[in-house]
Amino acid sequence: MVEVLPQQAPLAESDGARTNPAILYSFRRCPYAIRARLALAAAAIKLELREVSLAAKPPELLAASAKGTVPVLVLADGRVIDESQQIVRWSLEQGGGAWPGDRLAAQMIASCDGEFKALLDHCRYPERHANGDAAAARQQALSLLRQWNQELLEVPQTSQRPELQWMILPFLRQFRGLDTERFEHESGLEALRAWLDPWLEGPALQAVMASPWAERRAWHSPSWLYHLTLAEDWRLAKRQGFYPWSTRGMTLEQVGFVHASWRHQVAATYQRFYADAADVVLLALDPRAISTAGVPLRQEPAPDTGELFPHLYGPLPMGAVVLADLYLGDASGAP
Ligand SMILES: N[C@@H](CCC(=O)N[C@@H](CS)C(=O)NCC(=O)O)C(=O)O
């Protein structure tokens, strides 16, 4: 019997086994990540995409960049680029493009990442601002956008530059999305809308909002533990705040421990025990949170094959569940 300490939680599938040259930690809707994906896609960089749930960041992301923001690009040689602007610059270097060096572009980018992003966040999360007047923030954002609009009218070729589109338009898209109807009717934004609208429908954005550049499900880290459960059992457990099961149809009380799997064991476990069930949910569990909850975790051999599986000697701590998704076999993101 092997006690699994959280700091020893094995990386069940070694990262060294990967075949892709680089890894991008990304979040589908994040404008910084969209910006990075646009640049990387334009330079035809091959990479492994790891969609991240911002509420459950995988330990591999935090090991690469402790600040815990996305996008993060981990290159094959181990170098980490964890600022979207740097990822764009790096992609441009790979693809032979040039960083927009002129004053107007530099000003627009600085204004986007600084003042505009702050106002955008104020509009999106007014409750986070003590004296949060979202309407005033919206007006300030609009007056900034009217300045950009004016600059586009004065130097129309600015809008043709892909690097500037990557840098600016994901943020404009997010602002528009707050109230599309109103945005479409605001005065003084005509040139900006003429810049944004075709891009929104265009192939570059469509490509990076779909697989393989973006996924709708989070990547499943091999350093988490996994537990399959029936959707109806999980629904009830959430309502009760308590999960009584060990495995399908057997309680913790009957078995003495909760069955779990490492990531590479999930598919076989599903095939053996759950393949005929209608809706099956895959829970990802953080081993550190299991330990913090005081539940011992042990690796023990399956009686028939001797294969080692992790077992929880106590009720599955609800707070250790970092992801809960319908299990879709080998569909994107699921192990
Ligand atoms: N300066 C960073 C900002 C990235 C950033 O803030 N991304 C957001 C998502 S849109 C994030 O990761 N936030 C962390 C969190 O919500 O926990 C960059 O340009 O890459």
DSSP letter at 102? S
Atom of ligand 1 nearest to the CA of 36: 20
Which token pair is 11?
Answer: 């990386």
- Which atom of ligand 1 lies nearest, measured to the CA of 69? 12
**CA 242 to each of CA 74, 187, 233, 249, 251: distance values in angstroms, whole numbers, following the listed order:** 38, 54, 10, 16, 12
Q: What are the extents of the domains in the chain? A: 1-101+159-220, 225-326
**If you measure from the C-alpha of residue 185 to the centroid of ligand 1, how many angstroms do you get, rounded to a whole number?**
30
pLDDT value for 335: 65
Shortest-distance Cα residue to atom 9 of ligand 1: 30
Q: Checking DSSP bridges between strand 245-247 and strand 280-285, what pairing results, if any?
A: unpaired
Q: Which tops the pLDDT comparison, 88 or 161?
A: 88
Mean pLDDT of 6-22: 49
What is the 8 CA–ligand 1 centroid distance (Å)?
Answer: 29
> Is the confidence at residue 18, as pLDDT, over 70?
no
The DSSP code for 317 is P
Closest CA to 281 of 236, 317, 216, 223: 236
Average pLDDT, the chain: 91
Helix (H) or strand (E) holding 311: strand 308-312
pLDDT at 328: 83
Rounded to a whole number of angstroms, the distance between the first and last alpha carbons of the chain is 26
Give the pLDDT score at 222. 95
- Give 124 Cα–ligand 1 centroid separation in angstroms: 15
> pLDDT grade, residue 240 (50/70/90)?
very high
Rounded to two decimals, what is the model's pTM? 0.91
Mutate to test the pocket of ligand 1, among 32, 80, 90 (most ligand atoms within 8 A of CB): 32
Q: How far, in Å, is the centroid of ligand 1 from the Cα of 37?
A: 14
Q: Can you give the pLDDT at residue 160?
A: 84
Q: Which atom of ligand 1 sits closest to the CA of residue 71?
A: 20
Helical (H) or strand (E) element with 127? none
Ligand 1 atom 11 nearest Cα: 69
Residue nearest to atom 19 of ligand 1 (CA): 84
Nearest Cα residue to atom 10 of ligand 1: 30
Q: For the segment 138-176, what is each residue's pLDDT rounded down to a tens digit?
A: 999 999 999 999 999 998 888 888 999 999 999 999 999
Distance 206 CA to ligand 1 centre (A): 21
Across 186-200, average pLDDT:
96
Q: Ligand 1 centre from 204 Cα, in Å?
A: 22
Measured in Å, residue 31 CA sits from the centre of ligand 1 at 9
Q: How far apart are CA 163 and CA 158, in angstroms?
A: 10
Question: Which residues have C-beta atoms less than 6 Å from ligand 1?
Answer: 27, 30, 32, 54, 68-71, 83-85
pLDDT score of 16 more than 60 = no
**What's the pLDDT score for residue 19?**
56
Residue 8's pLDDT is: 37
The C-alpha atoms of residue 54 and residue 242 are separated, in whole angstroms, by 25
Pairing of strands 23-26, 48-51: parallel
- d(CA 221, ligand 1 centre) in Å: 20
69, 90, 171, 173: residue to mutate for ligand 1 pocket, most atoms within 8 A of CB: 69
The architecture that CATH gives domain 1-101+159-220 is 3-Layer(aba) Sandwich (3.40)
The pLDDT assigned to 130 comes to: 75
Among 57, 70, 166, 322, which is best to mutate for testing ligand 1, by the most ligand atoms less than 8 A from CB?
A: 70
Which residues contact residue 315 at a Cβ distance below 8 angstroms, ignoring those fewer than 6 apart? 242, 243, 244, 252, 258, 295
pLDDT grade for 25, boundaries at 50, 70 and 90: very high
Which tokens belong to 53?
Answer: 């749930």
> pLDDT (tens digit, 9 = 90+) per residue, 275-307?
999 999 999 999 999 999 999 999 999 988 999
Sign, CA dihedral 119-163-147-174, equals negative
| Percent of the chain at pLDDT exceeding 70 | 92
Architecture of the structural domain at 225-326: Alpha-Beta Barrel (3.20)
